[in-house]
Amino acid sequence: MNMNVITEWIVLLFILSGTALSLFSSIGLLRLPDVYTRSHASTKTTTIGLISILAGGFAFFLFEDGVISVRLILAIIFVFLTAPVAGHLTARSAHRAGVQLADISVKDELREDLEKHRKEMGGKEAAESKETQS
Amino acid sequence: MFHNLLYMAMFLLSVSTLVALYRLIKGATASDRILALDAMSYNIIGIVTILSIALNTQNYLDVILLIGILAFLGTVALCKYVERGVVIEHERDN
């Protein structure tokens, strides 16, 4: 290999830090008690870890072959855009489907806000239907 | 040295994939399973990237984009199924 040792270590730094982050997120996925806390562990750490691994691959192909890999840039942008959206969607659908929080959690502010909003909307709709009936 | 550390990173990523597979099988609710499927696909993307570095080829980089797009679309469809009970709605609002 005609690759410099320094560039090897740069690539390894990216890849090993990304691997460590993915491993931590899997520990969080295993140990945390709840869907919401698991989504907190999984999405954040997996996103940054995967972007770090992909950046390591980009650096490898840049230093080794002298090629700027457009597919890896596209993959980094795509993962950076879509992984937080996927985590948000998972937690939102879980809360709307009525998945309970863990027993040790203290407060569910979204449910209070939703109930207040539903009460206001229900009052408005009832008033409107009374008006249309009269 | 370089290749040994790459293979060690692949091993650790596969361990993390197995942990996500445990959560996929055991998971208490359907949302846990969606989350575990998402984490599994991201770990597999990382494994493919490290494999293409270790084999010094660029031919596997299409797989990264393909698995990423499929994982995102699957997550969106499954979340919509969990939330509303259907994936494609036929009724209009009015």
pLDDT score of B66? 92
Residue A18: how many CB atoms within 10 A of its CB?
27
B83 contacts A92? CB cut-off 8 A: yes
B82 contacts A97? CB cut-off 8 A: yes
Residue A125 has pLDDT above 70, yes or no: no
For B30-75, the pLDDT digits (tens) are: 889 999 999 999 999 999 999 999 998 888 889 999 999 999 999 9
Sign of the dihedral through C-alpha A99, A103, A109, A114 = positive
Chain B interface mutation, best of A29, A47, A61, A78, highest count of B Cβ atoms under 10 Å: A29
Distance (Å, whole) CA A126 – CA A93: 28
Same domain, A14 and A73: yes
Residue B82 has pLDDT above 60, yes or no: yes
For A6-37, the pLDDT digits (tens) are: 888 899 999 999 999 999 999 998 888 888 88
Percent of chain B with pLDDT over 70: 97
- Residues of B within 8 A of A43 (CB-CB) are 38
pLDDT score of A112? 82
ipTM here: 0.86
pLDDT score of A126? 59
Q: Measure CB to CB from residue B31 to each of A22, A35, A83 and give the nearest one.
A: A35
Same domain, A94 and A111: no
Length of chain B, please? 94
Chain B interface mutation, best of A53, A68, A95, highest count of B Cβ atoms under 10 Å: A53
> B8 exposed, middle or buried (CB, 10 Å; 0-12, 13-18, 19+)?
middle
Residue of B nearest to A95 (CA): B83
Same domain, A51 and A113: no
Domain membership of residue A131 as a residue range: 104-134
Same domain, A93 and A123: no
Inter-chain Cβ pairs, chain A and chain B, closer than 8 A = 152
What is the nearest CA distance from A127 to chain B, expressed in angstroms? 20
pLDDT score of B73? 92
Outline where chain B has alpha helix (H).
2-26, 30-54, 61-84
For A50-88, the pLDDT digits (tens) are: 999 999 999 999 988 888 889 999 999 998 999 889 989
Q: Measure CB to CB from residue A90 to each of B19, B65, B79 and give the nearest one.
A: B79
What is the nearest CA distance from B92 to chain A, expressed in angstroms? 20
Residue A128 has pLDDT above 70, yes or no: no
Same domain, A83 and A120: no
Residue B36 contacts residue B23 (beta carbons within 8 Å): yes
Residue of A nearest to B65 (CA): A75
Same domain, A115 and A59: no
Same domain, A32 and A95: yes
A78 contacts B65? CB cut-off 8 A: yes
Residue B88 has pLDDT above 80, yes or no: no
Residue A134 has pLDDT above 50, yes or no: no
B38 contacts A43? CB cut-off 8 A: yes
pLDDT score of B45? 92
- Tokens in use for A127? 């008033």
Does residue A34 sit at the B interface (CB-CB below 8 Å)? Answer: no
Same domain, A19 and A76: yes
State how many domains chain A has.
2
- If you compute the radius of gyration of chain B from its CA atoms, what whole number of angstroms results? 17
